[in-house]
Amino acid sequence: MTHPQYRIRLRFEIAIVLALSFGASGIYAIVTIIERVTRETALAAQTATINRPLDERPVFDLIYQLLGIAFGLAPVALVAFLLWRGTKPHLAGLGLGGRRPAGVLRESLGGVGLAALIGIPGIGFYLFAKWIGINTTVVPTALDAFWWTVPILVLRALQAALGEELIVVAYLFERFKRLGIGPVATVVSSALLRGSYHLYQGFGGFLGNVVMGLVFGWAYQRWGRSLPLIVAHWILDIVSFVGYGLAVALWPALFAAG
């Protein structure tokens, strides 16, 4: 049985980690959706931009983007530090390491399958949610076209994948297990947290990400591995961020901001 003082310490640790990462994002997103639904403009007529310019001058925009990515990974470094083990694999607590190249390849292919499972119906659900008026028009990127735009979007996608899957899934699952929280409650809690910080996109973004969280949580409970989740998330965001311009060009009525 876990010592009561250790359980209290774990709860404070979890609260601090979430306050520095996706818990704070969830609070801001809740306030944002309240602000959105109380506007005179209908939710479906509003836009939610994910990647936006940070400065008018390209060189400083690039610098700010890189700084944002670097500092945005600080909470990931924190949970890696907290769950670091003295023996190899050092990051086993986060579901990483301890695999030969063939195992890494197998997990990566599993991530590709997860991306297809989530991404293909996810596009349909986004369009449906927007059509019935419960979601904004999501603009994955408003960055201007420079030589560094695509690399920055790929890095932004990696930042999101590492942050969400290692904190919202791997870290929380490990800490909840130590607190004696059951697997079902853990998966549901993780999925609701994932949905909460996507509320800024609308209720469709919330529901879609809750479903994604349930699938990813189930996969992590089954496999105990983070790499498939990271690969899947990275692919989904790369397709969304980098492919947005092409989607708007081919189907402007469906994807272009109003």
pLDDT given at position 4: 85
CA angle 103, 91, 188 (to 5 degrees): 90
pLDDT, tens digit, for every residue of 190-207? 999 999 999 999 999 999
Hey, where are the domains in the chain?
4-255
Distance, in Å, from the CA atom of 188 to the CA atom of 211, rounded to the nearest integer, reads 10
pLDDT at 67: 98
Does residue 252 surpass a pLDDT of 70? Answer: yes
Q: Give the Cβ contact number of residue 224 at 10 Å.
A: 11
Structure tokens given for 145: 């076209």
pLDDT of residue 256: 86
Q: How confident is the model at residue 3 (pLDDT cuts 50, 70, 90)?
A: confident
Smallest CA-to-CA distance from 163 within 194, 192, 139 is with 194
Predicted TM-score (pTM) of this structure = 0.96
Phi, psi of 203 (to 5 degrees): -70, -25
In sign, the C-alpha dihedral spanning 69, 72, 78, 80 is: negative
Band (242; pLDDT cuts 50, 70, 90): very high
Q: What is the pLDDT of residues 62-105, one digit of tens each?
A: 999 999 999 999 999 999 999 999 999 999 999 999 899 999 99
Retrieve residue 109's tokens: 């292919």
Percent share of the chain, pLDDT over 90: 95
How is the chain classified by DSSP, letter by letter?
Answer: ---HHHHHHHHHHHHHHHHTTHHHHHHHHHHHHHHHHTSSS-GGG-EEEEE--S-SSHHHHHHHHHHHHHHHTHHHHHHHHHT--SSSSTTGGGT-----HHHHHHHHHHHHHHHHHHHHHHHHHHHHHHHTTSB-EEEEE-----TTHHHHHHHHHHHHHHHIIIIIIIIHHHHHHHTT--HHHHHHHHHHHHHHTTGGGBHHHHHHHHHHHHHHHHHHHHH--SHHHHHHHHHHHHHHHHHHHHHHHH-HHHHS--
pLDDT tens-digit map of 35-66 = 999 999 999 999 999 999 999 999 999 999 99
Whole-number Å distance between alpha carbons of 52 and 48: 10
The encoded tokens of residue 189 equal: 């809690």
Is residue 2 scored above 70 in pLDDT?
no
109-158 tens-digit pLDDT: 999 999 999 999 999 999 999 999 999 999 999 999 999 999 999 999 99
- State which amino acid sits at residue 129: A
Tell me what the pLDDT averaged over the chain comes to.
96
